[in-house]
């Protein structure tokens, strides 16, 4: 049997396992993430301790694909490492997208933490347009280690899903797929709906919130020296930019721990 912990960041939920990624196949990820036949989650975080203040995090999306980076996942990984491995309040989380510095403090509730993460620089591409069912969505491409397309329009849930499916079905603009963020200003916040590569609609996306803030500053919709509050279905993330880095501040919550068989009959081929 394998031990795991269930964590989430604003409802973007993960199965956290202290294991090397080499032991995992896409089929095993899909089986454990299945919300009816498995534990159920948006993804899996495989963690290894790499030193006193350093750990490695490998991310798998619910469909078994392996993205470069996951912002809510970094917060959950850092909280797991402090809680389960008694690591300190300042950690480096190594991912396929490189190192991310984290500052962890206790949260308001038992089993919750507040984590501030240096998410690296945002790389903004040439603005483009995505055509879906006769609708044209102008987007700002933003690379946060993983690919995002930020659209300043909320066309309703049906079109969000159609656009997300179209953009991740071998679309020529998105060779490796893409995470889509649909944004609209709501007072002094930015309401955002996310369609995630390899998952679909999620309640929150950490790298997506960073991409939204970067696109807002790039379009001059807010001064770059002011924080951006991204209001996702699962809650709010505050995004700032300092010394060329994007900083994301938000919660991580431990939900439960459990055990899972080392091999399941429902692991598809």
Ligand X SMILES: N[C@H](CCC[C@H](N)C(=O)O)C(=O)O
Please state the residue numbers annotated as binding site for substrate: 12, 61, 71-72, 146, 179, 196-197, 206-207
For residue 205, indicate whether it is catalytic: yes
The one segment of 46-54, 89-97, 197-205, 240-248 that binds ligand X by CB under 6 A: 197-205
Site for ligand X in 141-160 (CB under 6 A): 146
The first and second tokens of residue 27, run together, are: 């089929």
* Closest to 206 (Cα-Cα) out of 96, 118, 265, 111: 118
What track of x and - describes contact with ligand X for positions 24 through 63 (by CB under 6 A)?
-------------------------------------x--
Identify which of residues 25 and 51 has a Cβ nearer to ligand X in the complex: 25
For ligand X, give the closer residue by CB, 94 or 264: 94
How far is CA 64 from its chain centroid? 15
Residue 205 binds ligand X, judged by CB under 6 A: yes
- Integer CA distances (angstroms), 86 to 16, 94, 148, 237, 249, in order: 16, 18, 34, 26, 21
253 interacts with ligand X by CB under 6 A: no
- Site membership for ligand X, residue 196 (CB under 6 A): yes
For residue 210, indicate whether it is catalytic. no
67: contact with ligand X by CB under 6 A: yes
Q: Distance between CA 46 and CA 40 in Å, rounded?
A: 16
Q: Examine residue 64 and tell whether it contacts ligand X (CB under 6 A).
A: no
For residue 40 the two structure tokens come to 């159920």
Q: Distance between CA 53 and CA 37 in Å, rounded?
A: 36
Q: Where are the beta strands (DSSP E) in the chain?
A: 2-9, 12-17, 43-49, 54-61, 90-95, 98-106, 112-118, 123-124, 128-132, 135-143, 147-151, 179-186, 189-196, 200-202, 228-232, 235-242, 245-260
| Between 177 and 265, CB nearer to ligand X | 177
Closer residue to ligand X (CB): 87 or 248: 248
Q: How far is CA 123 from the centre of its chain?
A: 17
Q: Which of 113, 197, 215, 237 binds ligand X (CB under 6 A)?
A: 197
Q: Would you say 61 or 241 has its CB closer to ligand X?
A: 61
Question: 70, 76, 102, 210: which is the annotated catalytic residue?
Answer: 70
Name the 3-class secondary structure at 171.
coil
Q: Dihedrals φ, ψ of 48, to 5°?
A: -135, 135
- Please list every residue from 173 through 192 that binds ligand X, using CB under 6 A: 179
Residues at the binding site are 12, 61, 71-72, 146, 179, 196-197, 206-207
Contacts with ligand X, residue ranges (CB under 6 A): 12, 61, 67, 70-73, 146, 179, 196-199, 205-208
Residues involved in catalysis = 70, 205
């Amino acid at each position: 049997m394998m031990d795991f912990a269930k964590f989430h960041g604003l409802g973007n939920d993960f199965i956290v396992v202290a294991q090397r990624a080499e032991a995992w196949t896409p089929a095993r990820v899909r089986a454990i993430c299945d919300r009816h036949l498995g534990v159920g989650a948006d993804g899996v975080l495989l963690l290894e301790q790499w030193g006193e203040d350093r750990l490695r995090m490998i991310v798998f999306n619910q469909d078994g694909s392996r993205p470069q980076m996951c912002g809510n996942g970094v917060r959950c990984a850092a909280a797991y490492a402090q809680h389960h491995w008694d690591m300190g309040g300042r950690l480096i989380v190594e991912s396929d997208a490189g190192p991310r510095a984290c500052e962890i403090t206790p949260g308001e509730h038992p089993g919750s933490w507040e984590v501030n993460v240096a998410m690296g620089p945002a790389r903004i591409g040439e603005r483009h347009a995505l055509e879906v069912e006769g609708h044209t969505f102008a987007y700002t491409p933003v690379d946060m280690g993983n690919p995002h397309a930020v659209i300043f329009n909320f066309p309703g849930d049906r079109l969000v899903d159609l656009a997300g499916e179209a953009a991740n079905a071998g679309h020529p603009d998105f060779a490796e797929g893409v995470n889509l963020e649909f944004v609209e200003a709501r007072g002094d916040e930015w309401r955002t709906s996310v369609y995630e590569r390899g998952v679909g609609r999620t309640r929150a996306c950490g790298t997506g919130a960073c991409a939204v803030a970067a696109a807002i500053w790039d379009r001059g919709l807010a001064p770059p020296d002011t924080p951006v509050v991204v209001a996702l279905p699962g809650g709010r993330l505050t995004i700032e930019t300092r010394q060329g880095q994007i900083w994301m501040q938000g919660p991580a919550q431990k939900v439960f721990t459990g055990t899972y068989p080392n091999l399941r009959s429902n692991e598809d081929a």
